[in-house]
Structure 1
Amino acid sequence: MEVPGRKESSDDKVKRKCQPCQDENVLREAYGYCKTCGEYLCDACYKYHRRPKPFKDHVLVDYKTIMSKDGAPTPQDSDKHKVSDDQVLQQGENNDKCKTKKSPPPVPMRRRIFNTKCSVHPSEDLKYQCKSHEIIVCSECALKEHRQCDELYNIKDIYDSESKRIVSKIKYVEDKAAYILKQETNANEGDDVSYEEVLSQIRLDREHVNKYFDETEKRLNNEVYSFREGSKIRQTEMLDICQKLKKKKDLISDTNLSKIERYISMTEVECEVDNINRDLKGVFGLPRLRVSYKSQYPLLDSGNLVVEKHQGEIGRRELKLLKRLNIAGGKQSCCITDIATPSNETFPVILVDVPNQRLIIISDEYSLIYHQLEWIPWGITFISYDMPNGEIAITCPFDDRISFLTIGENISVSKRSSITLKCPTGIRYHKSENVMIVIVRENRNASIQCWSLNGDLVRTIVIVTGNYIENINLTNDDQIIFASRSKHCIQSCDMSGNILRYFPYMDDSMQGPFGTAADQNQSVYVCGLRCLRVVSREGKWDELLTRDDGYAPQSLLVSNRSDRLYVGQALEKGRTDFLIFEL
């Protein structure tokens, strides 16, 4: 019953807003309140709030009860808000006036809350991640429903590794967006012939054919304006994505949340990051604008103004195919995982053909010698070479050893004893230190180790955890370069393990990557899935071969003496060619 003369309270003046809707930038008037979540809800959110299983036990209060003195919600209604009864600040109609009142924290103070209880067993905490079913479960669910699952992990055990993985994924997409933004910026600043110079020349000649230049200037302005407007839109999109990704990283590192809350948030963040990554346009082939003009008298038409839109700087380093050599030798297909030449020679070239368990030796006259092995090889390197004889080392990952062979008129087992070590793959000989640099793999981890020719472990150069690398190469100044599949990058380090260069590759079609090689200019060539890229020492990526070229690069080697690029192809039907390009 309304009492005459009663003053209107601040609660009547300031209508509560639905907090879940407000998170989505939608303002709806509150209809009720959830004591368990500590949130005000609109009629739609209130109506459907208890339908999902995780919310079955939540306590809801309608709007009339909220407005009554006895039923007004207090901070004790939810143990998620640790605020004293008499110290919650409620902002009223005037922003500069605050008063003490029992109520949930206002929206700006509210942190994101995740339900850490099992939906099937409400009294049990969520503790395990079943990756087989992609679900987080409690101890009882793990025991009853998931005990036979192959991938069931305690969240505390995998939290650190999963956190690093998702942060790494965010960093990859963040770098990709920043790279596209940089390309857009450079496209506007780096025109071959500046817009202002062309416009000035047009204005100088206008007195001769005024009508012609009016039409020409209008066309030029429209083209440039259209290009720049499109570029601004793309830049704004990339800036928004970078900001959004930064917020996702901040959420994962929020120390106010428990590990289980952060882990649940991480799973949601990962899905959002994957969606962002799918929506990003490719980093190659972004539009560029090139304006040119040549004055000509008499001027008969408007054909002298040329505005060309280029799809990015693709394949600026043109490769010339010198030789396409059929290496099948009676086999249906080949897979060349590694290539070796003596350090100061262009030939011989030795290829490792894994599925056929053989070596293929190519002479300077392009004649072929096949040598069958009794074990499956992977990596190869020259230890010594004094024409026409030499010694090579070959990794045997499936037999856990490194074997040595001599080459000459015949190939035979070296007098040097083989070396036993766990799953060796990539290998290179370091001449100045007289040691071998070897990749040693164990499960998902890998390490780059230094071994003497006598079979002694000299030192571990670098350990790469949660990573998948198979091949390495050496630069002219003995830097070690390798490609990381999980981290989406190319790295180089010195013999002490210090990371010298780090280049994230910005193209999702670069699946792998596989083999790497470096030239005299310290540019690094990288094999992807049916493509070949090169990254300069400044970190700029360019395409050399694409899927349309019809190749499947698997392994690489640069002969700096002859400026040749050797390319071995992957195991695909009909891929029996060894490719030699001129750089």
Structure 2
Amino acid sequence: MEVAGRKESSEDKVKQKCQPCQDENVLHEAYGYCKTCGEYLCDACYKYHRRPKPFKDHVLVEYKTIMSKDRAPTPPDSDKHKVSDDQVLQQGENNDKCKTKKAPPPVPKRRTVCNTKCSVHPSEDLKYHCKTHKIIVCSECALKEHRQCDELDNIHDIYDSESKRIVSKIKYVEDKAAYIIKQETNANEGADVSYEEVLSQIRLDREQVNNYFDETEKSLNNEVYRFREESENRQTEMLDICQKLKKKKDLIRDTNVSEIERYISMTEGECEVDNINRDLKGVFGLPRLRVSYKSQYQMLDSGNLVAEKHQREIGRRKLKLQKKINIAGGKQSCAITDIATPSNETFPVILVDCVNQRLIIISDEYSPIYHQLQWRPWGITFISYISQNGEIAITFPQENRISLLTIGKNISESKRSCIKVKSPAGIRYHKSENVMIVVTDFINASIQCWSLNGHLVRTIASFDYNIDRINLTNDDQIIFVSHTKHCIQSCDMSGKVLRYFPYIDDSMCGPYGIASDQSQTIYVCGFKCLRGVSREGEWNELLTRDDGFEPQSLLVSNGSDRLYVGQTRKSWSADNEFLIFEL
């Protein structure tokens, strides 16, 4: 047994070899010793040992210094299983005690999650992370293979920061997965609730319809029965008359009776025939029965049953960019929250810049004109526009008001007074009803009809979540979005929901602006992207992050196949541009 503390002889010291080289089956005499690594090093290894960043703080000692002090160190691994003399004696003295004394429970071993040894050098622990090559290496690999790498970090030094970063990434993906689970749960619950509601309504309708048809059938049977009975009585009566007349006619033709008798009978019968003929008046006015039926129930067709499943592959369709107009006007950032253009017209186009509290008017010459506002605007719509003059309505959510302005050579206050509305946001003018469709209250939104004189006509629909932008389709349907509910909806003027589908995006942002064209394709923008969804529910990517745009608001020109796109630009962005695309 080797006992710790035994001094090595001079012959042992001379035979010390470079341990890193020895692992490669190369024998070089040791030139020095690294106290940090606990290894002997040859001249070359000793010279370059502290050049890599992870080894700069290692303590090196020349071998001759060790020899002079006569205390050459022993590598740590070699002492792992050595036992001292005192330990041997103590063990012998305690043998008897160990026989009677219960042994202590074994110390549990640390759970091994993965192999921490180097695959190239099995005796070496993995200690360093090379970010250049994205691998974890041991000291030998770091010294020999990754000496020139710029990012070679000790795992103990970077563990805290890296663990926080990776935990944060895990949390992000975990939240995303939880969001999807929540969406699926809500979808299942919503499907169950709607299924039960619709099934209950179908059963109720079936019961009412069955009762209706039972009563209708009963009434029809009674009516036909009465008519048949009356008709059969008339037929019987006519048959009796025909029989009497036949007898009269037979008597006149009977040759077995004298002419005197026949004449007398004929004369008497003529009077009776005249009476019968008078009784048979209205031959062409007899009652007829024609059965007809008009249902009191509007029969359901497949269009009234909506069961949509929105999970499709998103296609890719390119938009043709017609014009980019710089609308910065000396400002570093802007946010176009809404766009308006006259009905069936292309220009002028008026943009709402809520960041800079201004309107930007784009003429047919694509030259922007700026009009400063007193408050921060949000939505805008044209009321009228004739011969370069017209009227517009602008919402100011923070001021709880809608202002009506007159446009011409200049923009000024309209003769109409401002309208007091709670937090008005999106706004559109409904020409056929001569009312404004307004979204009120960002948080618990309502879609309302307001007259131009400032009277609330009616509330179309109410919600328990936010809605900030709306638009009207060609057939006067209302389309709107919620960036907190992440959904797109449409309804008619009575508030009946016609379409509802979620807006799915990896960044879980949006939707924001919304518009539609004559084919009823809906355009909606999210975070640095623009998508279109057809009437059949087919999605297409129109703009992506790679295009470099940040769409915020949308409008389709009724007078042409143009899509207007307003952007939101931060101070770091170089351009503030208004975009015109050809559909």
Q: Give TM-score, length-normalised by structure 2.
A: 0.47
Q: Which structure has more helix as a fraction of its residues?
A: 2
For the pair shown, which has the larger CA radius of gyration, 1 or 2? 2
Q: Give TM-score, length-normalised by structure 1.
A: 0.47
